[in-house]
Amino acid sequence: VNDRTEPELTLADLGESEILGRIFPRLPESSATLVGPGDDCAVMTAPDGRFVITTDMMIQGPDFRLEWSTGHDLGVKAAATNLADVAAMGARPTGMVVSIAAPPMTSVTFMEDVADGLRDACLALAPGCGVVGGDLSVSTVLTFSITAFGDLEGREPLLRSGAQVGDVIAVAGRLGLAGMGLAALFAGERAGARESALQAQLAPLPPINQGVVGALAGAHAAMDISDSLVMDAGRIARASNVMMQLDEQVIDDLAGHLAIEVGADAARARQAILFGGEDHALLMTFPASATLPEGFLAIGTVVACGEGENPRVNLGDTAIAENGWNPYTGWNGETS
Amino acid sequence: VNDRTEPELTLADLGESEILGRIFPRLPESSATLVGPGDDCAVMTAPDGRFVITTDMMIQGPDFRLEWSTGHDLGVKAAATNLADVAAMGARPTGMVVSIAAPPMTSVTFMEDVADGLRDACLALAPGCGVVGGDLSVSTVLTFSITAFGDLEGREPLLRSGAQVGDVIAVAGRLGLAGMGLAALFAGERAGARESALQAQLAPLPPINQGVVGALAGAHAAMDISDSLVMDAGRIARASNVMMQLDEQVIDDLAGHLAIEVGADAARARQAILFGGEDHALLMTFPASATLPEGFLAIGTVVACGEGENPRVNLGDTAIAENGWNPYTGWNGETS
């Protein structure tokens, strides 16, 4: 909404270099940068001779709607989702490159808000991590593409394939809250929804530093929960050739608390915990002998596959179907 | 065009994991990979404790048209343009992550062709460099986003700010050929155009290895020519606070050769050499004492800014305006 008398300045009014000149000063700086923006590449330090790297896109329509998200929200979410992938390796995020394709009529203010969101997410979640480069393009569809990278600080990376029979399954961060927020938005119930659920969906702040904490505590396996607890636990199950057995009582307790927090019934909350996506909580397995670090909650146990059984996720003793987000069939084509 | 009786398989017919299962085996592997696709991040080696990183998007409409480019062309171009940025730092490309957002009705065959193009470009231009991760999304606009990275092998990075008065300005790769190809496509003269010009525009194979060669030969400054010779030389001029003086006779000779090669008049060829983009030739400056490596052509000299003069590009003794591509004003909104 533009309540000024002058028309709002758009990307089409400025050249690429002038737009960059407005955005770059707002972006967070990385303490691991040797050569920052302004050359054909950034040059980053990789102190232990390795780096981890991940990339993720956010597209207007399937991934976000401008009715629901501000530019600041989108900057936070784009950063947070990629930082969570770095954290899931047990690494410390050091930097990211950010590409944005936007319609020419996009306001410069909106792009500045995106930059502010990127900065605020990095400052809150991964101090020292910054934006070291990027690309601005034009498209009819607002599109974000982020590549984030990080430093293992001499540790072995945490993989999906590392879970061992007897491990404790634990999670850091929220489960189901982002899903409840999305359900409220789709139902047109934004006004009545809890702020915590909306924020978890629109501008999530997952516990990025818990990736390093979990690695230091001896975690065997890790990933971030982006599609759903059950779907992502299934990925660890297959990669590690084990059963991921979730504790039904713990899930029910979590559902009860979530239901109270967001004012929903417990059955819907339970569905969101098991099958809701986008919480970007960290799912790890720890040896039974490990002391779970503060902020991790035990939610199950890794057990062996029986004779002739395929790796899967159990809720208690019962197999549970893996449902989650499939972009090519899950999007109905709506963009607003 | 689908001349089979069965409808062509589209992305909407398959789940994300099945699509990835078809694409990943076609992608090039990186010899610098410690942990490849399948976890939340790839883990890469960075032998000298640093890495260079760059990112670039390609959007249907402003950056390419499916009337002109095959999936294979787009895979080659997406890889080549990013590899050129790594080369321009004097680094050896080690890997890339690739995100593609595509309409659900995109054929699986098209995506396989893109993967083949990525592979063929890496094999031809940067052996050992591979695709180590990525993201598949859905969008109404076909969108590619690539982040490439590389290894400096113990050398100092080549920067835009390194040009020194007295340096020889040299270029490796073609000038103007991609621009002539684009002009032929826009004029609807594809049938009569030279294959070399069309390939330079649609599926460029710039001399990536010359980045390392130039660095080893002692280059002071470098960048890749993506927007135009004059526009990119202007960036080196400002970053280094020097005049980039192009040799008019050399430019005219190049124009004469290009005119004959593509069957155009010399004036148009000269425009393409100076102001055409997307050749991704490597522009470097070398100390006058250096022996120019094979494949580099001297095209000018770095001279000092006079009293009160701003850094700029000269053709002979005359200042030349910096024209090139501005995405927010240069795109007319057409996508086909």
Look at strands A312-315 and A243-246 and give their pairing: parallel
Shortest CB distance from A46 goes to which of B15, B49, B134? B49
Question: Quick one: pLDDT band at residue A16, thresholds 50, 70, 90?
Answer: confident
**Per-residue pLDDT at A324:** 59
- Neighbouring CB atoms inside 10 A of A306's CB total 8
Measure the CA–CA gap between B305 and B312, rounded to whole angstroms. Answer: 8
Residues in a beta bridge with B44: A51, B33
Per-residue pLDDT at A293 exceeds 90: yes
Look at strands B130-138 and B221-224 and give their pairing: unpaired
**Per-residue pLDDT at B212:** 98
Per-residue pLDDT at A55 exceeds 90: yes
- Within chain B, residue ranges assigned H as helices are 16-23, 71-87, 108-125, 177-186, 195-202, 210-216, 229-240, 248-262, 266-275, 327-330
State CA B87 to chain mean position distance.
Answer: 10
Looking at the complex, report in whole angstroms how far the Cα of residue A160 sits from the nearest Cα belonging to chain B.
Answer: 6
Burial (CB < 10 A; 0-12, 13-18, 19+), residue A238, is middle
A35, A55, A334: best mutation site toward chain B, by most B Cβ within 10 Å? A55
Look at strands A130-138 and A92-102 and give their pairing: parallel
**Per-residue pLDDT at A327:** 57
Task: Please report, for residues A52, A149, A154, B292, the alpha-carbon distance to residue A85 in angstroms, rounded to integers and kept in the order given.
Answer: 9, 9, 18, 44
Q: Which amino acid is at A91?
A: A
Continuous segment of H or E residues that includes residue A268: helix A266-275
As a whole number, mean pLDDT of residues A163-186 equals 97
Question: Quick one: pLDDT band at residue A336, thresholds 50, 70, 90?
Answer: low
Per-residue pLDDT at B221 exceeds 60: yes
**Per-residue pLDDT at B7:** 77
Range with the poorest average pLDDT among A46-60, A73-87, B9-23: B9-23
Residue B181 tokens read as 């190809």
Q: Which amino acid is at A114?
A: V
Per-residue pLDDT tens over the stretch B259-298 = 999 999 999 999 999 999 999 999 999 999 999 999 999 9
Residue B165, SS3 per DSSP: coil
Q: Calculate the CA dihedral of residues A134, A138, A144, A148 and round it to 10 degrees.
A: -20
Contact A265, A259 (CB under 8 A): yes
Q: Is B50 on the interface with A (CB under 8 A)?
A: yes
A14, A18, A41, A235: best mutation site toward chain B, by most B Cβ within 10 Å? A41
Looking at the complex, report in whole angstroms how far the Cα of residue A292 sits from the nearest Cα belonging to chain B.
Answer: 22
As a whole number, mean pLDDT of residues B99-126 equals 97
Residue whose structure tokens are 């659900």: B104
Residue B101 tokens read as 């957002």
Cα Rg of chain A (Å, integer) = 21
**Per-residue pLDDT at A85:** 98
Question: Quick one: pLDDT band at residue A35, thresholds 50, 70, 90?
Answer: very high
Shortest CB distance from B138 goes to which of A145, A161, A331? A331
Q: Is A145 on the interface with B (CB under 8 A)?
A: yes
A-B contacts at Cβ under 8 angstroms: 246
Looking at the complex, report in whole angstroms how far the Cα of residue A186 sits from the nearest Cα belonging to chain B.
Answer: 19
Q: Which pTM value belongs to this model?
A: 0.94
Measure the CA–CA gap between B240 and B162, rounded to whole angstroms. Answer: 6
What does pLDDT average to over chain B?
Answer: 94
Residue A232 tokens read as 């992502």
Q: Calculate the CA dihedral of residues B280, B281, B284, B290 and round it to 10 degrees.
A: 150
A15:B326 CB<8 A: yes
Per-residue pLDDT at A149 exceeds 70: yes
Closest C-alpha among B12, B194, B41, B180 to residue B108? B12
Q: b/e per residue, B103-139, with b = 16+ CB within 10 A?
A: bbebbbebbbbbbbbbbbbbeebbebbbbbbbbbbbb
Residue B285 tokens read as 């400056």
Question: Quick one: pLDDT band at residue B3, thresholds 50, 70, 90?
Answer: low
Measure the CA–CA gap between A169 and B268, rounded to whole angstroms. Answer: 67
**Per-residue pLDDT at A164:** 98
Residue B21, SS3 per DSSP: helix
For B94, phi and psi rounded to 5 degrees? -115, -25
The answer for A 161-220 residues in CB contact with B (under 8 A) is 161
- Which strands form B312-315's sheet, in the order they lie side by side? B221-224, B282-286, B168-172, B296-303, B243-246, B312-315, B318-319
Shortest CB distance from A49 goes to which of B47, B95, B328? B47
Q: Is A89 on the interface with B (CB under 8 A)?
A: yes
Question: Quick one: pLDDT band at residue A331, thresholds 50, 70, 90?
Answer: low
As a whole number, mean pLDDT of residues A42-64 equals 97
Closest C-alpha among A279, A286, A281 to residue A87? A281
Query: Nearest residue on chain B to A43, judged by CA atoms?
Result: B52
Question: With contacts defined as CB-CB under 8 Å, which chain A residues touch B139?
Answer: 59, 61-62, 141, 143
Contact A221, A287 (CB under 8 A): no
Per-residue pLDDT tens over the stretch B128-148 = 999 999 999 999 999 999 999
Q: Which amino acid is at A219?
A: A
**A327-A330-A336 Cα angle (round to 5):** 95
Q: How much of chain A is helix, strand and coil, in % rounded to 5?
A: 35, 25, 40
Contact B115, B27 (CB under 8 A): yes
Closest C-alpha among B154, B96, B97 to residue B126? B96
Range with the poorest average pLDDT among A307-311, A324-328, B77-81: A324-328
Question: With contacts defined as CB-CB under 8 Å, which chain A residues touch B80?
Answer: none
**Per-residue pLDDT at A321:** 86
Residue B121 tokens read as 């470009």
Per-residue pLDDT at B334 exceeds 90: no
**Per-residue pLDDT at B207:** 98
Residue B44, SS3 per DSSP: strand
The answer for A 222-281 residues in CB contact with B (under 8 A) is 222-224, 239
Residue whose structure tokens are 């929200």: A73
A41:B223 CB<8 A: no
As a whole number, mean pLDDT of residues A91-97 equals 98
Question: With contacts defined as CB-CB under 8 Å, which chain A residues touch B56?
Answer: 99, 135
Name the residue with higher pLDDT: A37 or A288.
A288
As a whole number, mean pLDDT of residues B48-64 equals 97
Q: Is A310 on the interface with B (CB under 8 A)?
A: no
For B207, phi and psi rounded to 5 degrees? -80, 75
A147:B147 CB<8 A: yes
**Per-residue pLDDT at A12:** 92
Per-residue pLDDT tens over the stretch B114-126 = 999 999 999 999 9
Shortest CB distance from A147 goes to which of B11, B14, B97? B97
Q: Is B57 on the interface with A (CB under 8 A)?
A: yes
CA atoms within 13 A on the CB side of A334: 7
**Per-residue pLDDT at A144:** 98
B39:A160 CB<8 A: yes
Range with the poorest average pLDDT among A45-54, A188-197, A266-275, B172-181: A188-197
What stretches of A173-257 adopt beta strand conformation (E)?
221-224, 243-246
Q: Is A18 on the interface with B (CB under 8 A)?
A: no
Per-residue pLDDT at B335 exceeds 70: no
DSSP state of A175: S
**Per-residue pLDDT at B261:** 95
Cα Rg of chain B (Å, integer) = 21
Q: Percent of chain A beyond pLDDT 70?
A: 94
DSSP state of A199: H
- Neighbouring CB atoms inside 10 A of B5's CB total 5
Sign for the pseudo-dihedral over CA of B39, A327, A146, A205: negative
Task: Please report, for residues A65, A113, A124, the alpha-carbon distance to residue A118 in angstroms, rounded to integers and kept in the order given.
Answer: 18, 9, 10
Residue B224, SS3 per DSSP: strand
As a whole number, mean pLDDT of residues A206-213 equals 98
Question: Quick one: pLDDT band at residue A7, thresholds 50, 70, 90?
Answer: confident
Looking at the complex, report in whole angstroms how far the Cα of residue B322 sits from the nearest Cα belonging to chain A.
Answer: 13
Question: With contacts defined as CB-CB under 8 Å, which chain B residues touch A136?
Answer: 327
Residue B191 tokens read as 């049938």
Shortest CB distance from B35 goes to which of A48, A150, A159? A159
Q: Which amino acid is at A159?
A: L
